[in-house]
């Protein structure tokens, strides 16, 4: 579970490092005809703007669900470092404290999320229209019937999707107005089982227990119940690639990194582990 927070922290640091590179790229997209000169880029006003934006990004990176830092003390620490004052902890002491806090917080969050998921699924099983595809683990609610071909593992399912936690927080969606092409052979078990058999034109909501989702691995909250709203637009042939190679059309946010492997952090959020 400590690995989860390391990923969150790493993603925050990557975002920080990319900020200066991307802020002007965004402006150029909006104003394609305007070229920024070196003098404009490094002017006092420009550096002030970049610095202020960088501060906003640092603040956002501190919004961590596992460990809430004291923002005022973070600012004080930066001011102390600027003034040449010693840190209240060595780097080793800091790393040990962070690791201990992460372990305790993640365990508590994981236990709570699992309890909430199981309580929800137990109650939801009795709701009108809810079908249990796997008792206590996977449920579906058909929102709109489809009349096309049924989804199989031998085809790409081209669909719109939205993924939410139990509290309604959205953790992933297909691109605006564009469906995602998903190879079900590369998805988590709950998603794969819930989509197989859907017909083109059908819209349904899936409720996935963490045992069929990400559990305590991957990039999402540990042991979180996953709720997906899906609508199948069409089916396409699988691309001619090996089963282990993700399709170029797959949505980036449908990735799952293998537990404990930092090299896989960039894979899709619905990517299944090799052992699944």
pLDDT digits (tens, 9 = 90+) for 80-122: 999 999 999 999 999 999 899 889 988 999 999 999 999 999 9
Q: DSSP secondary structure string, 18-86?
A: HHHHHHHHHHHHHTTTPPPPHHHHTSHHHHHHHHHHHHHHHHHHT--SS----HHHHHHHHHHHHTTPP
**CA angle, residues 174, 180, 186, in degrees to nearest 5:** 110
Q: Model pTM? A: 0.66
pLDDT digits (tens, 9 = 90+) for 34-64: 788 999 889 999 999 999 999 999 988 887 7
Quote the pLDDT of residue 219. Answer: 83
Query: What residue spans define the domains of the chain?
Result: 2-88, 117-264
Q: What is the mean pLDDT of the chain?
A: 81
Q: How does strand 138-144 pair with strand 130-134?
A: antiparallel
Quote the pLDDT of residue 247. Answer: 42
- Cα 136 to the chain's mean position, in Å? 24
2-30 helix and 91-124 helix, angle to the nearest 10 degrees? 90
β-partners of residue 134 are 138
Quote the pLDDT of residue 50. Answer: 94
Fold category of 117-264 in CATH: Chitinase A; domain 3 (3.10.50)
Residue length, the chain? 276
């Amino acid at each position: 579970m400590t690995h989860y927070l390391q990923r969150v922290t790493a993603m925050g640091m990557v975002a920080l490092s990319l900020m200066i590179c991307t802020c002007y790229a965004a402006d150029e997209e909006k104003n394609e005809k305007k070229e920024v000169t070196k003098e404009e880029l490094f002017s006092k006003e420009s550096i002030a703007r970049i610095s202020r934006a960088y501060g906003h990004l640092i603040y956002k990176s501190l919004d961590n669900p596992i460990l809430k830092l004291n923002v005022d003390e973070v600012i004080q620490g930066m001011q102390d470092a600027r003034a040449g004052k010693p840190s209240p902890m060595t780097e080793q002491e800091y790393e040990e404290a962070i690791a201990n806090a992460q372990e305790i917080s993640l365990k508590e969050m994981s236990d709570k999320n699992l309890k909430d998921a199981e309580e929800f699924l137990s109650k939801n099983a009795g709701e009108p229209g809810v079908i249990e595809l796997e008792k206590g683990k996977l449920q579906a609610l058909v929102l709109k019937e489809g009349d096309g071909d049924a989804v199989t593992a031998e085809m790409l399912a081209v669909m719109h999707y939205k993924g939410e936690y139990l509290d309604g927080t959205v953790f992933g969606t297909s691109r605006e107005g564009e469906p995602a092409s998903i190879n079900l052979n590369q998805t988590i078990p709950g998603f794969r089982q819930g989509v197989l058999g859907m017909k083109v034109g059908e819209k349904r909501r899936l409720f996935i227990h963490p045992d069929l989702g990400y559990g305590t691995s991957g990039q999402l909250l540990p042991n979180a119940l996953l709720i997906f709203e899906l609508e199948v637009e069409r089916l396409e042939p699988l691309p001619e690639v090996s089963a282990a190679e993700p399709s170029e059309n797959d949505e980036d946010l449908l990735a799952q990194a293998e537990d404990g492997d930092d090299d896989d952090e960039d894979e899709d959020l619905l990517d299944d582990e090799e052992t699944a």
